[in-house]
Amino acid sequence: GAVVSQHPSWVICKSGTSVKIECRSLDFQATTMFWYRQFPKQSLMLMATSNEGSKATYEQGVEKDKFLINHASLTLSTLTVTSAHPEDSSFYICSARGSSDYNEQFFGPGTRLTVL
């Protein structure tokens, strides 16, 4: 089956630093990648959708200058949380979708970010 990896799986950083999270599709080409955030006991919240080679489309309320997304290749997307603050602490999950007609998204294992 399709495998999506994320790195790192967890990160603890000081307030004001920037954190980069990588999302890779290991055995398929991901034309579209999605970045989600999930706070405890809440559902997934879509942050942005990115297509390879083009700018990401951000959901309403998500600051594009704070959450930088780069989808430079068909197998890699990165999310950089710039100047992270404690309120950015969350579980960040990426998913990837190939070019099949059934639109299934394959999820990475998630990255737990804790900002002190």
Partner 1 sequence: GQNIDQPTEMTATEGAIVQINCTYQTSGFNGLFWYQQHAGEAPTFLSYNVLDGLEEKGRFSSFLSRSKGYSYLLLKELQMKDSASYLCAATDSNYQLIWGAGTKLIIKP
- Rule CB under 8 A: which residues touch partner 1? 34, 42-44, 46, 49, 91, 93, 102-110, 112
Nearer to partner 1, 86 or 102 (CB): 102
CB neighbour class for 68 (10 Å; exposed up to 12, middle 13-18, buried from 19): middle
Q: Are 37 and 92 in contact, with CB atoms under 8 Å apart? A: yes
> What is the nearest approach in angstroms of partner 1 to the Cβ of residue 34?
8
> What is the nearest approach in angstroms of partner 1 to the Cβ of residue 12?
16
Partners of 35 in the β-ladder: 48, 94
> What is the nearest approach in angstroms of partner 1 to the Cβ of residue 106?
7
Nearer to partner 1, 59 or 63 (CB): 59
CB neighbour class for 79 (10 Å; exposed up to 12, middle 13-18, buried from 19): buried
Nearer to partner 1, 76 or 110 (CB): 110
